[in-house]
Amino acid sequence: LLGTNGNGKSTLMKCVMGMVKPDQGEINLEIDGVRHDLTKLSTEEIVNLGVALVPEGRRLFPKLTVEENLLLGAFRELARPQIADNLAFCFEAFPLLKERRTQLAGSMSGGQQQMLAIGRALLFNPRLLVMDEPTEGLAPVIVEHVADTLKTLASEGNISVLLIEQNLGVAGDVADNVAV
């Protein structure tokens, strides 16, 4: 989902996550052949369907280690049996996180923190990963790495990604469909 500031991208994301209830309309998500109208569900029910959020601004726990932040992503009961596999996938996607697993999250650079925020969402074992401006403020080399990781998720995982972004290059490079 592309657009400039103030066009409602983040508001739509909040509607998808159940944090804002629209006055009218539906937001449908189909999982395993079952259609769910997200406007009728609580945030908790949406999360339990397997919808994970990588929020703008990362929202990490700065006084916890990288590994502790990652493991918080596996709080959903259905994610717990896959912790080892999801952690391995996360460390394969972001080797730096494995190297720094005992480092405090608050002491990492912005790009490293963004990797950690994405990794935490992967530990959730999501069916739908909602990412709000994941490349904002990142160095070009980190933007490229995040884009490559999104492509890998789309091609290898059973994960759909709703990417909310201003960077046309990234969105066009990783998306199957683009809405402006």
pLDDT mean over 21-41: 95
Q: Is the pLDDT of residue 95 over 70?
A: yes
Measured CA to CA, the distance from residue 17 to residue 39 in angstroms comes to: 9
Is pTM beyond 0.75 here? yes
Task: Give the whole-number percent of the chain exceeding pLDDT 90.
Answer: 40
pLDDT mean over 81-94: 88
How confident is the model over 99-121, as pLDDT tens digits?
Answer: 999 999 999 988 889 889 999 99
Cβ atoms of 15 and 51 within 8 Å: the answer is no
168 or 39, higher pLDDT: 39
Strand 28-31 versus strand 34-37 pairing type: antiparallel
The predicted structure's pLDDT at residue 97: 94
pLDDT mean over 134-153: 79
Q: Is the pLDDT of residue 65 over 90?
A: yes
- Please give the helix or strand (H or E) that residue 48 lies within, else none: helix 43-48
pLDDT mean over 122-130: 88
Q: Is the pLDDT of residue 157 over 70?
A: no
The predicted structure's pLDDT at residue 110: 84
Measured CA to CA, the distance from residue 157 to residue 59 in angstroms comes to: 24
In our burial notation (b when 16+ CB lie closer than 10 A, e otherwise), range 132-159 reads: bbbbeebeeebbebbbebbeebbeeeeb
